[in-house]
Amino acid sequence: MGRPPDGGPDRRGRVSAAFGEPVATYRGSTDPDAPLVVLLHGRGSDEQQIAALADHLPQQLAYAAVRAPIAEGGGYAWFANRGIGRPVASSLAETTAWFRAWLDAEHAGRDVLLVGFSGGAAFAGGLLLAEPARWAGAAILLGTLPFDAGVPTGPGRLSGVPVLVAQGDADTVIPRELLDRTWTYLHDESGATLTAHRDPGGHGISAGTLAVLTAWLTATAREH
């Protein structure tokens, strides 16, 4: 676990799937007992771009930046969608199964925190809502939960689960309706142990968001 034995940054999962073998880039701690933070990039991006975020996060944690399985726009995506922030339910179910198979093969029994940005936030939210007890926590950064996409979003679904939500008031990429619905659900219905951050920024991880994420990861990992 952690980085590959040769110390190199990349490792391909051993799980066969219709999407091919997962590709992950590792950063941070090589201690196999350290909590693992899985970084999930946005639509059209890749694992290398979001792996750079780990350099600014607590180094006592281990980080795995995973490449999404669907090629799109010179990068990769976590699901087919019906519009921005609106996953096709069958596609989300397929990529969720693919991701969980990789995680079970590579990191079984390990405490895992999810950090998703934009489209990766919707995917992280899907994983979280499908199996709330499986995760040590999840950060939903500049994105929406996957409503109406085949995962439960009922009251109390995330009871006691540490969740961070961060949004920018000037974000014009994710539909405001979905951002507001995510904010309201997490605050008023989900039951999550919630940390929430808003700033005036747009669709990007601001210095303020980074500081809140750093503090949240440190505090949440300490509890596990």
Looking at the 3D structure of the chain, how many domains does it have?
A: 1
Is 155 inside a domain boundary? yes
With respect to residue 183, please indicate whether it lies within any of the assigned structural domains: yes
For position 13, what pLDDT does the model report?
39
The pLDDT value given to residue 41: 98
Helical (H) or strand (E) element with 105: helix 89-107
User: Tell me, what's the pLDDT at 194?
Assistant: 99
pLDDT in the model for residue 37? 99
pLDDT number for residue 73: 83
Instruction: Indicate whether 3 belongs to any domain.
Output: no
- How confident is the prediction along the chain (224 residues), in pLDDT tens digits per residue? 333 333 333 334 344 347 888 999 999 999 999 999 999 999 999 999 999 999 999 999 999 999 999 998 889 999 999 999 999 999 999 999 999 999 999 999 999 999 999 999 999 999 999 999 999 999 999 999 999 999 999 999 999 999 999 999 999 999 999 999 999 999 999 999 999 999 999 999 999 999 999 999 999 998 86
Is 5 a member of any domain? no
**Confidence (pLDDT) at 156:** 98
pLDDT (tens digit per residue) in 76-86:
999 999 999 99
Instruction: Report pTM.
Output: 0.91
Q: Does 4 fall in a domain?
A: no
Residue 6 lies in a domain: no
Residue range(s) defining the domain that contains residue 54: 11-222
What pLDDT, on a 0 to 100 scale, did the predictor assign at position 16? Answer: 38
Q: What is the pLDDT of residue 87?
A: 97
DSSP structure class, residue 57: S
Distances (CA, A) of 83 to 127, 129, 164: 20, 20, 24
- 101 occurs within a structural domain: yes
Sign of CA dihedral 165, 115, 67, 201: positive
Classify burial at 14, counting beta carbons within 10 Å of its beta carbon; exposed 0-12, middle 13-18, buried 19 or more. Answer: exposed
Task: List Cα–Cα distances, 17 to 7, 69, 104, 154, in angstroms.
Answer: 26, 10, 13, 31
Residue 2 resides in a domain = no
CATH number of the domain to which 100 belongs: 3.40.50.1820
